[in-house]
Structure 1
């Protein structure tokens, strides 16, 4: 059976999209190739038609996670005055909605500790994604100049990632919200 020229690209994109969600939900060691391929409606045998190995899929899936979180952040900022962008990012990032859905949320909050223990080559690919995120989101941050905005980004983003990670440790929604609200209120008052 012949497929149209775009079929392979669409199939690969579907595999990466499913892997990105499964990784954020289950961790780097969670979903195996078989699980990702099944979620994509494919057999394991077809995996190597699209990827050289699992590390390639993992890197592309994490990169897609970064792209998705950037798109979501920019969508949140529609109709928000520029001077309030960073505040809206804080409110969204430290929301119950974001906390309760790690599969579609920030890959750093979901995977940072695992990526920190990964092979150097994999970490290098991911650190490039973090640098791009830094460049994009630093523009949104408060500060009189680029250096100050970058410094504020690191402080704000690190606090948000940590708070989201801690909140996800709790099973009681009220406990989760207490962590999120404490960090959110502190950040909004501090900058």
Structure 2
């Protein structure tokens, strides 16, 4: 048996299992066996499964923020095109894990803070981009950016939980943005400008 594994190796292995199987299906025995360490070694670094899963969620959140920063740097084009790319990035983030993971994290009280923080991050990003669309008069004036962003996120999450194909979520995002756009915004989405 291997002498030990680093905290990062344990988090990475657990993160992979969570992404594949959801939180409930992950077993400490399985993580220890996968890494070739004892459960005792694992418990020396993490008090319990919830602490380990919390560390994994923190790492997943950190990785997502890095992707968003990278996405911001690539956001050329008009605000609606940037919004479409951002919603597609959100869709992609929903497919990094199995839908069972999303259902687990949403329901388990111990992880409610992680779920709320993740949602707040995305809501802020989407709202900020929608506000840019309104400023440039590419979005209908009666659209409230924060409410609209929340509805988009909720609908995309529900579609993902119901095992809709990723392409369906991309299409939904484009269609809903097109429906909220001004005539000029529609032309930009459709590539007529």
TM-score range relative to shorter protein: 0.5 to 0.7
Helix, strand or coil for the counterpart of 1:180?
helix
CA, structure 1 residues 177+135, in 2 after alignment: closer, same or farther (shift >3 Å)? closer
Which has the higher mean CA deviation after the structures are superposed, 64-73 or 120-129?
120-129
Unmatched tracts of structure 1, length 5 or more: 1-7, 104-108, 169-175
Matching residue of 1:46? 41
Unmatched 5+ residue regions in structure 2? 136-142, 181-193
Q: TM-score, normalised by structure 2?
A: 0.67
Residue 90 (structure 1) aligned with residue 87 (structure 2): yes
- Indicate whether 1:154 and 2:150 are aligned: yes
* Aligned twin of 2:102: 112
1:140-167 deviation per Cα after TM superposition (whole angstroms, max 9, x unaligned): 334548x933222212222222233334
Q: Residues 59, 138 of structure 1: CA spacing in aligned structure 2 closer, same or farther, 3 A cutoff?
A: farther
Distance 1:14 1:74 in 2: 25
Give the distance between the partners of 2:36 and 2:68, measured in 1 at CA.
30
Q: Matched residues in 1 for 2:167 and 2:107: separation?
A: 30
Question: Normalization by structure 1: what TM-score?
Answer: 0.68
CA RMSD in angstroms, aligned pairs only: 3.3
Distance in 2 between residues matched to 1:123 and 1:92, nearest whole Å: 22
Indicate conservation of the 8 Å contact 2:84/2:173, yes or no: no
Corresponding residue number in structure 1 for 2:173: 184
